[in-house]
Amino acid sequence: MKILFFSDVHGSPESVTLLLDRIGEFEPVHLVLLGDVLYHGPRNPLRPDYKPPAVVKQLNSLKSRITAVHGNCDSEVDQMLLEFPITAEYATLLVDGLRFFLTHGHHWNPGNPPPLESGDVLAFGHTHIPQLERLAGGIVAFNPGSISLPKGGFEPTYGTYENETLQIRDLQSGEVRMELNV
């Protein structure tokens, strides 16, 4: 199964437009949105293309394929506009015998992991910094980075899963930046 992971949209329709191109190329069955969908947040700069209503329209067109979790910048009013649920603090996906624990990362993260077993994948956002590594205890930390407001000197990125392989890819080009077989 092909899955595309993305996080920290922060109301940027230009970033979602680029993501739609990558979705068209990769053709995932499922999309995982790891929080911070519409609001830019008090600690982030306001992007020139900040237009939450445009992002709502773009993402609602994909609603049947999206599993989303609640980010620290998401609010109840956002749920009134989005046609897919975003209010859960976490969700789990079982794919190819792997358990993915989906969360934004402001509560559950590599420094405060949920109760997972070796081989499970902790998929999170929040930091805007891509991460893909096996932690002590065998848990895989998978942060696809941010598609709109990357930090730490990284470019905008997203993640993919296919054939027991996780990848972090450049949003502009789709090129693989990190890869791990799980």
Summarize pLDDT for 69-85 with one digit per residue, the tens.
999 999 999 999 999 99
| pLDDT > 70 fraction of the chain, expressed in percent and rounded | 100
Summarize pLDDT for 17-54 with one digit per residue, the tens.
999 999 999 999 999 999 999 998 888 888 999 999 99
In this predicted structure, what is the pLDDT of residue 32? 98
Domain range for 137: 3-181
In this predicted structure, what is the pLDDT of residue 123? 98
Q: Which CATH number characterizes residue 52's domain?
A: 3.60.21.10
Whether residue 154 has pLDDT greater than 90: yes
Whether residue 113 has pLDDT greater than 90: yes
In this predicted structure, what is the pLDDT of residue 68? 98
Whether residue 15 has pLDDT greater than 90: yes
Q: How many domains does the chain have?
A: 1
Average pLDDT of the chain to the nearest whole number:
97
Whether residue 137 has pLDDT greater than 90: yes
In this predicted structure, what is the pLDDT of residue 30? 98
In this predicted structure, what is the pLDDT of residue 40? 87
Whether residue 104 has pLDDT greater than 90: yes
125 and 146 in contact (C-beta within 8 Å)? yes
Compute the CA torsion angle 180, 63, 151, 155 (nearest 10 deg).
70
By DSSP bridging, strand 30-33 and strand 66-68 are parallel
In this predicted structure, what is the pLDDT of residue 45? 87
